[in-house]
Every structure is written in C-alpha cells, then in structure tokens.
Structure 1
Amino acid sequence: MASAANWSSPSTRPPLIETLVSGVDRYNPSNVSILEDYLYHQIRSEEYDCLANLAILKLYQFNPDLYNPDVVINILIKALTSSPFPDFSLCISLLDERPASAASQDEPDPLPTLLPILTALHSLLQQCRFPTFWTLYRSTEVEALRDNYTVECVGFEDAVREVAVRAVKAAFSSIGSERLGTYLDLSGADLSAYVEKLGWIVSNSGVVSIPANPDNQIESTVVQENIQLSQLTKVIAHAAQTSQPAAVPVVN
C-alpha cells in the first residue's frame, strides 16, 4: 500500500505538475488543460496522482464553465481503485449537485447517470464484497461505463484485483482457489497464472497459502503489570473508604 508521502507526491509526478499542485498556480484556471492532459496520461499509463486530480475538481468548482463530465468520470474511475483510501470520497465532496436533466448544447451530461453506479461500485469495494462487485460491473446496467470509460483506463480490472489482493492478504493465511477466483473474477489458467505471479502457493487440494504478514498472523500478547506494595496499599485503603456506608442523619 502506498505511503502517505507517495500519496501526496508520487514519484511519477512530472516537475511541471509538482509546481502546479504545490504552488499558487493550482487555482489558476488557465492551467486546467495541463492537469486534464496529465489525467489522461494517468489513464493510459496506470499511474495515479490523487492531488493533481483533486486540483481539477477544485478548478471546476471555482469555474463552472470549465466543467468536463468525461474528465470527472475518469477521475472517479481512477479514485475507485484506491480503496480502502478515501480518495473517492474526497472527489465526491468536490462535486456540485447536477440534475439528471442537465445537458450541454451538444449532448446530455453522463455524470448524473453514472455517478450512482460508480458510488455503488465503490461501496462494494469498501465492504470487500468482491464477487458482488464483479457481478454488477459485468451487468448490462454498467455497460455504458465499461464501453465508454473503463475500457480506456489501462489496467483498471487489475487495479481492482489489487484491492482484493490487499484485503485477502490482511484477512487470510489460506483460502480456497475457487473462492479466491470469485474475488478476482478469474478462473482456470488465468487464475493460476495470477496466483503464481503473486508468489502464492496452491496445494494439490486447491488451497492457496498466503505468505505470513503482520495482518494475517494471530499472535498472543502477554500484558504484565508491576504493582509496588505501596501502590497496592493505597488501592486497598481507598477501596475500604468507599465501601463504608454513608452516615444516616438522625431526625428528631
């Protein structure tokens, strides 16, 4: 998982983008095209820069005339696979409410239609409901998102699988290959090749062994407290005082 430092300043970020994101030019509307081009570079190269993408959404907030729904959808798609990090929620918080009937002069705005779908997919990833995620993602309901957007996002499905792999590594020391396949939307030779690439071992019975890590190992912890005799005496004396019944006033 990425460190906070790499999240805020990824090593793949070009110097020009670093200057824009870190300086006052971050809110200069004339630079929005540079940031949008950088987003499409991320789409094509499997790179990801959340802060640069958030800067685009902030510029759209300040300058509604710059709004490009395709750019927003692609930003949300990239943020979708950052789970369990809160990138998707950060992006959503910068979106203005737009009615489903909102349209430009040329064509309708696709965001109001696709936003509930993207939100549902994000929720399923956050809840680690990976088989349900893949079922929804493959459904006809999500066809427009697949055919027009995620198909252009290089490595999108593998990025989703990486989210599942992180969850599996944290929760399992071993898992059935069939069950793992439902998490990864893979089967047969594709699943075997993917598991081999991860360096995980599959037994003859189809059980996948997950390498030990701090999250999937249960270790007993012994807590030992050293109490001095003087401290114990104070505790006993205090308990004796509080246990004495309160004096009842005598009424003549």
Structure 2
Amino acid sequence: MASSASTWTSPPTRPPLIEELVSGVDRYNPSNVNILEDYLYHQIRSQEYDCLANLAILKLYQFNPELYNPDVVINILIKALTSAPFPDFSLCISLLDERPAALAAAANADEPDPLPQLQPVLARLHALLQQCCFPQFWALYRGDDVEALRDNYTVECVGFEDAVREVAVRAVKAAFTSIGRARLGSYLALDGPELDAYVAKLGWTSDASTGVITVPPNPDNQITSTVVQENIQLPRKSSLISCSS
C-alpha cells in the first residue's frame, strides 16, 4: 500500500500507459475504460494497488452509466478496503453515492446487481478495520454474512488476507512496544507455527516463557518528552513595573 502522498499519486508499479491515462485528460475518455479495468484485474492478481487509477474507473462510470460493471466496482472496494487507515475506501464510496439512478438500471437485467447487497458488508468490514477491531473483523469476514463476498470475490484477490494483516501490523507498530502472543494472534487470525512464522518474518522477537512479543522501536511507538520554552517579550517592562509600584 502507498506509504506517502507521492507513491499514492504515482505508484512505482504503474505502467507508463496507465500513467499517461491517469495524469492527462484521457482519464475521462470512455474508450479507455477497458484498459483501466484490465489494469484493475492485474492489481487483483499481482497484489499491486493503484487507487488513483481505480478512482478514474468509478468517475467514468459516473459520466457514462452504460459502462457500469458491478464486479469491477466490488473489486475496487476490496482493494481499497485494505488501504486502512488511509481514506481510499471512503473516496470510492463517495463516488458511488453520487452515481445517477440510471447507473443501476444500466446493469445486465438478466443478472441481479450484487453491489447493493455487498456494499453494506464491505462498509462494515471497513469500519472495523478503521476502528482497529481486528478480531471482530475476522469473525465477520469468516461468517455466513460474508460468504458471497468470499466465494465470489476475495478468493480471486491474491493476498487479500495478508493485506488485512498488514493493516493490523501497522496499527500494532504504532501503538505497542510489546504485545501478548494471544492478542496478536487474534489481530492476525493466526496461531501456532503460522503465527511464529509471521512474527519471524516481521523481524519481531518472541519470549516463549512469557508469551510476550517485542515490537521494535519506531517513531510512532516511542514516547519522547517535549520541552516547550516560551520567550515572552515585554518591551514596556519598565513601564509596567513602575505602574505596579
């Protein structure tokens, strides 16, 4: 996921053709929607992510309701879901909320539009990630209410669960210097050797006797004291002293 404004605006994995489309006026050319949709599915298969290019698809759907593809929209939301705590998901939702009523009618009448059913589910999952309610996220994600999303969409999104774990890791690194093994396992939906392997991959250390995992120091989890020095200028100090005498 993008870690800075520059990588969000222009990911290093973005092909030159997509860069040209996204950065210029051609991003509003409906004849380019297939290129952008193909690029989205490349992101799904390769674990890459390009929010700006995906937002361009949603904007084209707004301007051209006949282009609307619900499967594409759902996949865009899935990719944006794991960008938390960044606001990508909300940016995507804001474009959907503004879509004209004719957009839904443009979908294939022979097949029901899955977006109205799955969008609230995705919104609930997103809220749990934003609130760092990771055990609740996994419980919901693996429950019956999300079966359609798992079986038809996230199963095709390579590395989706690991991307969610990266969201949890970012939160843990920002808030903890150490964390209990059971607690971290509930955040990552991992246990036993899988949890040990994941912790080792992160470069974190685990104390087998206490069950405590040490999170390496970083700018977010280190408490530093701040000294504030005020320099108050009193140009009329002598006048004030004389008035108080």
TM-score higher than 0.5: yes
Local SS of the residue matching 2:213: strand
- Contact persistence 1:128–1:164 (CA under 8 A): yes
**Alignment-derived partner of residue 224 in structure 1:** 229
RMSD of aligned C-alpha atoms?
2.0
- Contact persistence 2:62–2:100 (CA under 8 A): no
The whole-number CA distance in structure 1 between the counterparts of 2:242 and 2:165 is 61
- Contact persistence 1:44–1:153 (CA under 8 A): yes
Structure-to-structure mapping, 1:168-247, within 5 angstroms: 168-204=172-208, 205-227=210-232, 230=235
For normalisation by structure 1, the TM-score amounts to 0.89
Q: Which moved more, 1:220-229 or 1:202-211?
A: 220-229
Q: Which moved more, 1:211-220 or 1:78-87?
A: 211-220
The whole-number CA distance in structure 1 between the counterparts of 2:138 and 2:88 is 21
**Alignment-derived partner of residue 118 in structure 1:** 122
The whole-number CA distance in structure 2 between the counterparts of 1:231 and 1:19 is 62
Distance change (3 Å), C-alpha of 1:129 and 1:210: same
Structure 2: any 5+ residue segments left out of the alignment? none
**Alignment-derived partner of residue 245 in structure 1:** none
Local SS of the residue matching 2:179: strand
Distance change (3 Å), C-alpha of 1:191 and 1:230: same
| Amino acid corresponding to residue 151 of structure 1 in structure 2 | V
Percentage of pairs with the same residue? 75
Distance change (3 Å), C-alpha of 1:232 and 1:25: same
Aligned residues: 238
- Contact persistence 2:177–2:221 (CA under 8 A): yes
Distance change (3 Å), C-alpha of 1:72 and 1:230: same
- Contact persistence 1:121–1:136 (CA under 8 A): yes
For normalisation by structure 2, the TM-score amounts to 0.92
- Contact persistence 1:50–1:87 (CA under 8 A): yes
**Alignment-derived partner of residue 157 in structure 2:** 153
- Are 1:85 and 2:86 matched, yes or no? yes
Q: How far has the Cα of 1:105 moved from its partner?
A: 2.2
Look at both structures and tell me which one has the larger radius of gyration over its CA atoms. 1
Q: Which moved more, 1:128-137 or 1:101-110?
A: 101-110
